[in-house]
Structure 1
Amino acid sequence: MKIIRYLHSSILVSDLEKAEYFYGTILGLEKVERTLNFSGVWYQLGDYQIHLIVDPNLIVNLANKEKLGRNYHLAFEVDNLDEMLERLESYDCPIQKSSSGRGACFTQDFDGNVIEITAVG
């Protein structure tokens, strides 16, 4: 027996409408159909999915508020980091550049979940 593929990650969100705005409108992820009977939204990135699941009592507790990348997070690669930074700024999203000096930054969704945005390799 061996694990052959990574399928998805789930993120808890407190407000589905706000989460859809962040992940769909701000980040521009592609929403896909889902057939489950609980509140949530799925997004497709290549062979990988992100599942947003609603928890109205969600409390995100960051271990390190000074260095967002040292918390649990999702990481996305973009083809134009400067354009993504401009986009995040235009929506007043928090931005923390990577302290390593590499082409990357960290932001947070409306619930405080951390997202890493990295330039193509």
Structure 2
Amino acid sequence: MQITQFLHAAILVSDLEKAEHFYGTILGLVKLDRVLKFPGAWYEANGVQIHLITDLSARSELQNVEKWGRNRHLAFLVADVNAAKDQLLKYGCEFQMSASGRSALFVQDPDGTVIELGS
């Protein structure tokens, strides 16, 4: 499996207003106009998206990871999701395919960070 690009990082924040001031005003990141189903915001820096999430009460396990950001979460672009799936199977890693029909899968690293591999 070849990872070709870092897509986004999800960051849990306790105060969205303070986080937006830090990421938007102080760091100068561009706020993205994206519809969210829970409290938070998206920012962009040089093609990498930063997902600020404030819904700290709704943390999920891997099986519910598509409720974005409830766990630490990184997303990477891969050339071929099926090749990534085969690589994970080869090493006995547990993973979950996207429940929404997207070409993506989710796996946890040893520390519990959810890694999304999408194409």
Using the size of structure 2 for normalisation, the TM-score is: 0.47
Determine which structure has greater relative contact order: mean sequence separation of CA pairs < 8 Å that are 6+ residues apart, divided by chain length.
Answer: 2
The TM-score normalised by the length of structure 1 is 0.46
